[in-house]
């Protein structure tokens, strides 16, 4: 499974970067930045940014403003406190008192387009293993120790500044079709989980308009999918579902990007977009599990973890934008305050 996941996320990364580059052929290419982790493992970050021109020269106008499509494949040792923290979310991990080997492979992406009419999107699919220490024979053969626990997690979610209902519907329809082929209970369960996960309690609003979110998906009973639920159950079935969700990324998002990215916009719309990006920063730094876990993990690659942050964000005290329910900003706030089903 390790090799299959690694191969899959690597191909998916190529496919997504190629699809994004095709939308804006005159923009600079994504910058490929591969890295090694001292404690074991490697990664490849594909990052989009517009180089800052000399003073007085306007920066190139591009479809994207900042984007990253990263993969990482790492292994090492989890100390008991990290295992304890993980057990809270992952019931399949046994109660272990010693350090244990782990393996993690995943793809993680965040796309912040420049136009206030084009939504930000995030997706992440990951595979995690905990094993026993390898036996001498396994070590000699370059094999990991016997599996103790494994699971998949991931999801994709859409964060518009201005609400175009047809975009939210298209995004959810595409994800739903991918999920439905793997069990009728998958999409509704993971859509609800997404709405719950991306909620910003101190603002009383969601980060975005939804998508899917799941974690701890393995052969064991699942805390959100009932025992009899129509859902993928074996490792092969679950990996097939994750591939279907990952493959749905380009068709779920790129058509939305294409129809919004060249719409003209005003400074007022830009201001609102930057305020919404401020909320994105608040969610990611205060609540996002992956970010929080990354910030406290010694040896974690901070630049990769915080790549999700927008190039620019804005905060205003008691901003009037979004407070009028009849305004376009207010219409977005309404769906952020009360999650909608979309399909």
Of residues 277-296, those binding a copy of itself (CB under 8 A): 278, 281-282, 285-286, 295
Nearest CB to a copy of itself, comparing residues 239 and 272:
272
Of residues 22-81, those binding a copy of itself (CB under 8 A): 33, 45, 47, 49, 52, 55-56, 66, 68
Nearest CB to a copy of itself, comparing residues 67 and 186:
67
328 binds a copy of itself (CB under 8 A): no
Q: Is the dihedral of CA 270, 273, 277, 279 positive or negative?
A: positive
Name which position in 6, 133, 220, 311 contacts a copy of itself (CB under 8 A). 311
315 binds a copy of itself (CB under 8 A): yes
Rounded-to-integer distance, Cα 210 and Cα 201, Å: 16
Cβ 102 vs Cβ 76: under 8 Å: yes
Cβ 253 vs Cβ 167: under 8 Å: no
Active-site residue list: 122
Name which position in 307, 332, 333, 336 contacts a copy of itself (CB under 8 A). 307
Of residues 160-199, those binding a copy of itself (CB under 8 A): none
Of 96-104, 120-128, 172-180, 266-274, which part binds a copy of itself (CB under 8 A)? Answer: 266-274
Beta carbons within 10 angstroms of residue 241's beta carbon: 24
Residue 135 Rama label (left phi>0; alpha psi -120 to 50; beta): beta
Count residues contacting a copy of itself (CB under 8 A)?
Answer: 39
Q: Report in angstroms how near the CB of residue 267 gets to a copy of itself at its nearest.
A: 5
Q: Report in angstroms how near the CB of residue 309 gets to a copy of itself at its nearest.
A: 4
Token pair for 273? 């977009």
Beta carbons within 10 angstroms of residue 184's beta carbon: 13
In this structure, the chain runs to a length of: 343
Q: How many CA atoms lie within 13 A of 7 on its CB side?
A: 5
Rounded-to-integer distance, Cα 27 and Cα 226, Å: 47
Q: Could you give the 3-state DSSP secondary structure of residue 173?
A: helix
Cβ 72 vs Cβ 106: under 8 Å: yes
Q: Report in angstroms how near the CB of residue 205 gets to a copy of itself at its nearest.
A: 11
Q: Report in angstroms how near the CB of residue 109 gets to a copy of itself at its nearest.
A: 13
Residues that bind a copy of itself (CB under 8 A): 33, 45, 47, 49, 52, 55-56, 66, 68, 201-203, 266-268, 271, 274, 278, 281-282, 285-286, 295, 300, 302-303, 305-307, 309-318
């Amino acid at each position: 499974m390790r090799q299959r996941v690694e191969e899959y996320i690597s191909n998916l990364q190529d496919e997504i970067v190629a699809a994004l580059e095709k939308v804006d052929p005159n923009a600079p290419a994504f910058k490929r930045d591969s890295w090694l982790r001292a404690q074991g493992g490697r990664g490849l970050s594909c990052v989009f940014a517009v180089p800052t021109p000399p003073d007085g020269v306007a920066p190139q106008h591009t479809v994207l403003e900042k984007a990253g499509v990263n993969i990482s494949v790492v292994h090492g040792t989890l100390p008991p406190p990290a295992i304890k923290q993980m057990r809270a979310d992952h019931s399949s991990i046994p109660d272990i008192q010693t350090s244990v080997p782990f393996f993690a492979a995943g793809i993680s992406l965040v796309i912040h387009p420049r136009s206030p009419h084009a939504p930000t999107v995030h997706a992440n699919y990951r595979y995690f293993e905990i094993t026993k220490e390898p036996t001498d024979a396994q070590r000699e053969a370059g094999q990991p120790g016997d599996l103790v626990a494994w699971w998949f997690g991931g999801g994709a979610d859409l964060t518009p500044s201005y609400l175009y209902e047809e975009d939210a519907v298209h995004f959810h329809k595409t994800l739903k079709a991918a999920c439905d082929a793997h069990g009728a209970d998958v999409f509704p369960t993971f859509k609800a989980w997404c709405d719950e996960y991306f909620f910003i309690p101190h603002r009383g609003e969601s980060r975005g308009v939804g998508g899917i979110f799941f974690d701890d998906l393995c052969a064991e009973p699942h805390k959100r999918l009932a025992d009899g639920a129509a859902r993928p159950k074996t490792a092969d079935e679950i990996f097939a579902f994750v591939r279907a969700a990952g493959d749905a990324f380009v068709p779920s998002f790129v058509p939305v990007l294409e129809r919004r990215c060249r719409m003209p916009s005003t400074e007022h719309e830009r201001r609102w977009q930057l305020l919404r990006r401020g909320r994105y920063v608040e969610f990611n730094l205060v609540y996002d599990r992956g970010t929080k876990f990354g910030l406290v993990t010694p040896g974690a690659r901070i630049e990769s973890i915080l790549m999700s942050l927008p190039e620019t964000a804005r905060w205003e005290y008691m901003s009037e934008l979004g407070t009028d329910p009849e305004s376009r900003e207010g219409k977005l706030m309404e769906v952020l305050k009360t999650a909608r089903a979309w399909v």
